[in-house]
Amino acid sequence: MFVRMVYESFRRQKRRKLLAGAAITLGVGVATAMIAVATDIGDKIGRELRSYGANLVVTPQEDTLDVVIGGVNLKPASDGAYLNESDIPKIKGMFWRNNIVGVAPMLPVGAELGSSNKVTVLGTYFAKQLTFGKEHFTAGVRGTHPWWKVQGAWPEDDTQDVLIGAILAGKLGSKPGDAINISGESHRIAGILSTGGDEDQQIVAPLSLAQHFLRRDGVVRRIYVSALTKPEDELARRDPKTLSPAMYDRWYCSPYVQSIAYQLQEAIPNSYAEMIRQVAQSEDSVLSRIKGIMLLITLAALVASSLAVSSAMATAIFERRAEVGLMKALGASKVMVAALFFFEAALLALIAGTVGFAGGMVLAREIGRSIFASNIVIQPVLFPLILAVAVIVTFAGSAAAILRAMNFDPVYALRGEA
């Protein structure tokens, strides 16, 4: 009898049920799309934001130590200590190695330009192939500094060719293919470099050439690292030394910029890693705002869906007040009346939720292709979550009308009065 009553309800009130189902489908479809995009697009947006450049820098640990005696800083007035070039591949041995998308060492040295002028030669990798174990990867400024523009050609890392900054090239009247005298040695200019920074007045050369001018092989001054990270939260900002073992494991295994910096220090001996705060905070802000907008759209869609369901269900139940009155006159309790309508609402939610999930998948893929130029992967675990959301939204919209039906007086209800 119970099943038949539910069937007759759907058969006799097709229009009301379709209206409520459409509201649920639209709300759930938007929620599915937004949740799918928010959960899958994080890394893709992070990779796009890597166009800001590196977000971490590794320097010698000695540079962070000040020797102060009697109020006098006795730290030597020098360029500081150095890191070992041979330690760079060890970055790919850390826990979050797959989140490291770019590595570039830097070694600035002073040199003579011609016979009298001083110039800074910045040694680095351009696109050097490195190996750690069985893994091969490319390191260099072409990955960590994508805004660098070169007129001409990039030098090869195993050559003696150099890039000359645009401002310096203008002063010297140099162009690609010319020769330039650096510390008594002639080197070919492969291209003119434009960065909008100090490099425009410098010479950028392969790292081995800068080490040659410094007369120290296998050293670097700092290492820039570009890593995919997640926005900061309260746990990210805590000192790992104060955390319990369980919380420390959670902190260590989360791709916070702080935890990746900590692991970089573990991978590279005698180093200190820190975030480039302006870049890291900009990324966190952009990611948080995008996810916040998606959350607001999801909530707005679900609230609108709940209100539409409330209106449709209130009308549907009001039209069935005689049926409710007959049920109560025959001995049905308030719980039985509520169970009937909640079962109908749950069945409607499951059907509309399934349709809405399918529509949301299509919408998510279209958003991914048109806005992010990427395919959105829908996680299977999202389906039961969306069905649960559909049921909650439907129950929230139906609760007031169902509670009213429970309190119908059978006498008035059978006479067609509210």
193's torsion region: left (phi>0), alpha (psi -120 to 50) or beta?
A: beta
Partner residues linked to 187 by β-bridges: 180
pLDDT digits (tens, 9 = 90+) for 66-82: 444 444 444 444 456 89
pLDDT digits (tens, 9 = 90+) for 239-271: 888 889 999 999 999 888 889 999 999 999 999
- Mean pLDDT is highest, among 75-89, 151-165, 219-233, 349-363, for 151-165
pLDDT of residue 187 exceeding 80, the answer is yes
Cα three-residue angle 313-319-323, rounded to 5 degrees: 105
Dist CA 202 CA 410 (whole Å): 91
Which position has the higher pLDDT, 395 or 280?
395
Report percent pLDDT > 90 for the chain: 33
- pLDDT value, residue 78: 45
- pLDDT value, residue 228: 83
- pLDDT value, residue 407: 63
pLDDT of residue 334 exceeding 80, the answer is no
- pLDDT value, residue 52: 58
- pLDDT value, residue 332: 65
Dist CA 264 CA 266 (whole Å): 5
- pLDDT value, residue 328: 63
Rounded mean pLDDT, 310-324? 71
Which position has the higher pLDDT, 4 or 197?
197
- pLDDT value, residue 71: 45
Name which of 40, 350, 369, 62 is nearest 222 in CA terms: 62
pLDDT digits (tens, 9 = 90+) for 134-147: 889 999 999 888 88
Dist CA 72 CA 316 (whole Å): 84
- pLDDT value, residue 213: 93
pLDDT digits (tens, 9 = 90+) for 3-52: 665 555 666 666 777 888 888 898 888 888 888 887 776 556 655 555 55
Amino acid identity of residue 277, one-letter, is: R
- pLDDT value, residue 75: 47
Rounded mean pLDDT, 393-410? 74
Contact 30, 353 (CB under 8 A): no
Amino acid identity of residue 295, one-letter, is: L
pLDDT digits (tens, 9 = 90+) for 144-164: 888 899 999 999 999 999 999
Contact 408, 328 (CB under 8 A): yes
Rounded mean pLDDT, 209-231? 90
pLDDT of residue 65 exceeding 60, the answer is no
Tell me the pTM.
0.62
Dist CA 81 CA 308 (whole Å): 68
- pLDDT value, residue 365: 85
Q: Token digits for 391?
A: 């049921």
- pLDDT value, residue 49: 57
Distance of CA 25 to the CA centre of its chain: 29
Dist CA 404 CA 313 (whole Å): 11
Which position has the higher pLDDT, 333 or 28?
28
- pLDDT value, residue 331: 63
Instruction: Provide the mean pLDDT of the chain.
Output: 81
Partner residues linked to 243 by β-bridges: none
Question: Looking at 41-50, 362-371, 384-393, which range is the least confident one?
Answer: 41-50
- pLDDT tier at 418 (50, 70, 90 boundaries)? low
Non-local (6+) Cβ contacts of 26 within 8 A are 301, 305, 356
pLDDT of residue 126 exceeding 90, the answer is yes
Contact 305, 23 (CB under 8 A): yes
pLDDT of residue 411 exceeding 80, the answer is no
- pLDDT tier at 107 (50, 70, 90 boundaries)? very high
Dist CA 390 CA 386 (whole Å): 6
Distance of CA 265 to the CA centre of its chain: 23
pLDDT of residue 236 exceeding 90, the answer is no
pLDDT digits (tens, 9 = 90+) for 89-103: 999 999 988 889 899
